Structure 1
Amino acid sequence: MSDHPPSRPQRADRQAGQPWSAPRPKDARSLFVRLVEFLSPGPDSTAELIKTLADAEHRDLIEPESRVMLEGVIRMAGMTAGDVMVAFKRMDLLDIDAPYDELLGQVIETAHSRFPVFEGQRDNIIGILMAKDLLKLQRAPELNLRTLLRPPLFVPESKGLNELLREFRSNRSHLAIVIDEFGKTAGLITIEDVLEEIVGEIEDEFDDEDGDASIFTLADGSQRVAGDASIDSVNEVFETSLPAEDFDTIGGLVAHELGRVPRRGEQVDIQGLRFTVMLARGGAVRWFKVTRALSDGDTLTS
């Protein structure tokens, strides 16, 4: 019996007289790909990634609309509900104890499809009312408004928009109440607000098919004025003398008076006209509601 253990099968390299070594993993990438990666490494920051997308659009590799959406996805990843929400003081709320005619008038005036409903104090949100559900009270006055309320979705200000969008989809919700670190109502946010951070402005009931008209008369006698309406056209309709030489649009003038782009619900008084923001999207005001101010002068209110 041999004192030596059985020898392992001879490898081809040993048989050829070469020292044996462990096989190296093969790089599946081609030499050309590795050379390109060495010369042009990928972006290592959000700013570089956005710059890369802009360069890709410039070279006609992607369409402008695609670049805008991709940039929106990238930027949204670092945003929270608190960044996009409508602040509490600008929320349109319904009082559970208000009479039906008052509720209906507020729904018609604001033209929202969903409303937070409060009881007692305004920050005591007890449910969400669909505007279409309010019509049920007209046909059946014996119904209790509370039975029409839907449970509200509460989210913290720090909730990321990516996570919030998933929650909207999983809960089949379109509106959430944003609360601050102390548990008080800070504002509200809708699924439309989140999606517009990706795709840009979504057409809604305020948009016109022809896109030419910019000033309309509302049912209450006030005017709806587009943010990009020329100051000359506003002066002609309201018989005012707003400065047209320094600004191209009425939105630019109002933003200058305020020092920033106004948010929905904010008001600015200029030369006897009160401009109330009806819709603001993408860093610009789309529609103002314009009425005569109580007093003349450039007075700023909010």
Structure 2
Amino acid sequence: MIQSIFSFRDKVAREIMVPRIDAVCISKTAKLADLIKVIIDKGHSRIPVYEENIDNIIGILHAKDLLPYWGKDDFDWPNILRDPYFVPETKKISEILRDLRNKKSHMAVVVDEYGGTAGILTMEDIIEEIIGEIQDEYDYDDKRLVKIDDDTIVADARVDIEDVMEFFGEEIPEGKFETIGGFIISLLGRVPSVKEVIRFNDLEILIEAADNRRISRVRIKRVRKEEPVEMYSQ
């Protein structure tokens, strides 16, 4: 457990943020009705608001701030935005947690080295990370990584490659990737199709959900053979 706590302290924003491709944001030019629809459909109480494009976040809308204006369609809702809190990708989440508490805020906008939006990080994301780290080292019941049996898991493609390989007792492959999805794309040199099967050493990886830009969910099974199978894609 002590090692897990130290691991939490060393983690940085980019490791647990919601990447920009998955972030729910809205333009300042959106109509109030569209804004309310996003809040209801997505179930978020805080929405980053941008001007022109997502790389220019100008504020955070709190759903509760709309209540005094309920039924008033003629008010300029961007006027009630709260100031965004920007953090670099490399900032430690322990420091971000402290800052969020001091600011009495619940959301940070993560920016890359060029100042563009890399993703969104919430207080809930950090708390979930802390709880996950405090859980037993071999507790794989997290909703992003579900143990089916001793040889099979279903995982969100954003799960750390280290966690996946640790479950199967495999060595962590080297490369410029951190997630199982990044590993698969690096292995193939492309984004695989749904139902495509990839084999790596003793592992059979089935793509359960993906689109033309990214992988969403995979099912990984250990193939129990005396000799490791070679890497291939079908």
TM-score computed with the length of structure 2 as normaliser: 0.59
1:139 Cα deviation from its structure 2 partner: 2.4
Tell me which protein shows more strand as a share of its residues: 2
Whole-angstrom distance in 2 between the partners of 1:74 and 1:120:
40
- 1:18-69 Cα offsets, whole Å, 9 max, x none, are xxxxxxxxxxxxxxxxxxxxxxxxxxxxxxxxxxxxxxxxxxxxxxxxx3xx
CA RMSD of aligned residues (A): 3.9
1:178 corresponds in structure 2 to: 110
In structure 2, relative to structure 1, the CA distance for the partners of 1:175 and 1:268 (3 Å cut) is farther
2:127 corresponds in structure 1 to: 195
Which runs of no fewer than 5 residues in structure 2 stay unpaired? 134-142, 159-163, 165-178, 183-190, 196-207, 215-234
Whole-angstrom distance in 2 between the partners of 1:178 and 1:299:
24
In structure 2, relative to structure 1, the CA distance for the partners of 1:197 and 1:139 (3 Å cut) is same
1:147 corresponds in structure 2 to: 79
1:163 corresponds in structure 2 to: 95
Residue type at the aligned position of 2:63: A
Tell me whether 1:86 sits opposite 2:86 in the alignment.
no
In structure 2, relative to structure 1, the CA distance for the partners of 1:71 and 1:142 (3 Å cut) is farther
Tell me whether 1:130 sits opposite 2:62 in the alignment.
yes
1:116 corresponds in structure 2 to: 48
- 1:261-299 Cα offsets, whole Å, 9 max, x none, are 569xxx99746xxxxxxxxxxxxxxxxxx9xx9xxxx86
Whole-angstrom distance in 2 between the partners of 1:199 and 1:253:
18
RCO higher in 1 or 2 (8 Å CA, sep ≥ 6)?
A: 2
Whole-angstrom distance in 1 between the partners of 2:78 and 2:156:
44
Who wins on radius of gyration, i.e. which is larger? 1
TM-score computed with the length of structure 1 as normaliser: 0.47
Give the 3-state SS of the residue equivalent to 1:90 in structure 2: coil
Whole-angstrom distance in 1 between the partners of 2:90 and 2:84:
18
8 A Cα contact 1:72 1:199, kept in partner: no
Whole-angstrom distance in 2 between the partners of 1:181 and 1:133:
32
- 1:153-173 Cα offsets, whole Å, 9 max, x none, are 011111112211111111111
1:190 Cα deviation from its structure 2 partner: 0.8
- 1:56-99 Cα offsets, whole Å, 9 max, x none, are xxxxxxxxxxx3xx444211111111211111122110111111
In structure 2, relative to structure 1, the CA distance for the partners of 1:247 and 1:270 (3 Å cut) is farther
